[in-house]
Structure 1
Amino acid sequence: MDVGIVARKGSDRAVAVAADLREAVTAAGASVWVDTETADALDGVPAGRPVSALTDCDLAVAVGGDGTLLFAARNAGDTPIVGINLGEVGFLNAVSPENATEAVLDEVEAFNRGEMAVREVPRLAARSGEWTSVPAANEIVIQGGRRGPGAGIDYAVHIDGSRYSGGHADGVLIATPTGSTAYNLSERGPLVHPSVSGLVVNEMVADEGMPPLVTDIDSTITVSVEGVDEAVVVSDGRTVTELDAPAEVTVERTTPPMRLAGPPSDFFEALGKLS
Structure 2
Amino acid sequence: MEVGIVARKGSERAASLAATLRDVVADAGEAVWLDEETAAALDAGDDARPVDAFGDCDLVVAVGGDGTFLFVARNAGDTPIVGVNLGEVGFLNAVPPGDAAAALRAEIRSFRDGGLDVREAPRLTASADDWTSTPAANEVVVQGDRRGPGGGIEYEVRVDGSRYAGGHADGVLVATPTGSTAYNLSERGPLVHPDVDGIVVNEMVAEEGMPPLVVDTDATVTVSISGEAGATVVSDGRDTASLDGPVEVTVERTAPPIRVAGPPSDFFEALGKLS
- So what's the TM-score if we normalise by structure 2? 0.98
Gaps of 5+ in 1: none
CA contact (8 A) 2:103 2:262 kept: yes
Runs of 4+ in 1 over 2 A off after TM superposition: 44-47
CA contact (8 A) 2:32 2:47 kept: no
RMSD (Å) for aligned C-alpha atoms = 0.9
Give CA-to-partner distance per residue, 1:95-132, whole Å, 9 cap, x none.
01111111111101100001310101111011100111
- The aligned amino acid for 2:215 is T
2:86 corresponds to: 86
2:248 corresponds to: 248
- The aligned amino acid for 1:161 is G
Take 1:164 and 1:115, find their aligned partners in 2: how far apart are those partners? 43
Is 1:44 aligned to residue 47 of structure 2?
Answer: no
Take 2:31 and 2:17, find their aligned partners in 1: how far apart are those partners? 17
1:226, CA displacement in angstroms?
Answer: 2.6
Is 1:153 aligned to residue 153 of structure 2?
Answer: yes
Give CA-to-partner distance per residue, 1:42-72, whole Å, 9 cap, x none.
1234241110111100001101100100010
User: Which SS does the other structure have where 1:46 is aligned?
Assistant: helix
User: Which SS does the other structure have where 1:60 is aligned?
Assistant: strand
Take 1:9 and 1:99, find their aligned partners in 2: how far apart are those partners? 21
Take 2:145 and 2:29, find their aligned partners in 1: how far apart are those partners? 52
CA contact (8 A) 2:187 2:204 kept: yes
- The aligned amino acid for 1:40 is A
User: Which SS does the other structure have where 2:39 is aligned?
Assistant: helix
Gaps of 5+ in 2: none
1:227 corresponds to: 227
1:208 corresponds to: 208
Take 1:63 and 1:247, find their aligned partners in 2: how far apart are those partners? 40
Take 1:114 and 1:97, find their aligned partners in 2: how far apart are those partners? 26
1:175, CA displacement in angstroms?
Answer: 0.4
1:236 corresponds to: 236
Is 1:54 aligned to residue 54 of structure 2?
Answer: yes
2:117 corresponds to: 117
1:102 corresponds to: 102
Take 2:213 and 2:34, find their aligned partners in 1: how far apart are those partners? 41
- The aligned amino acid for 2:105 is L
Take 1:80 and 1:167, find their aligned partners in 2: how far apart are those partners? 41
User: Which SS does the other structure have where 1:271 is aligned?
Assistant: helix
**CA separation of 1:104/1:228 partners in 2, compared to 1, >3 Å: closer, same or farther?**
farther
Take 2:213 and 2:47, find their aligned partners in 1: how far apart are those partners? 48
1:181, CA displacement in angstroms?
Answer: 0.4
Take 2:45 and 2:185, find their aligned partners in 1: how far apart are those partners? 43
CA contact (8 A) 1:153 1:228 kept: no
CA contact (8 A) 1:199 1:215 kept: yes
Is 1:186 aligned to residue 191 of structure 2?
Answer: no
Take 2:17 and 2:241, find their aligned partners in 1: how far apart are those partners? 35
Take 1:40 and 1:99, find their aligned partners in 2: how far apart are those partners? 25
- The aligned amino acid for 2:144 is G
Take 1:130 and 1:115, find their aligned partners in 2: how far apart are those partners? 38
- So what's the TM-score if we normalise by structure 1? 0.98
Q: Give identity over the alignment, percent.
A: 70
User: Which SS does the other structure have where 2:87 is aligned?
Assistant: coil
1:23, CA displacement in angstroms?
Answer: 0.8
Take 1:120 and 1:16, find their aligned partners in 2: how far apart are those partners? 29
Give CA-to-partner distance per residue, 1:220-268, whole Å, 9 cap, x none.
0000113351311111111111111111100000000000000000000
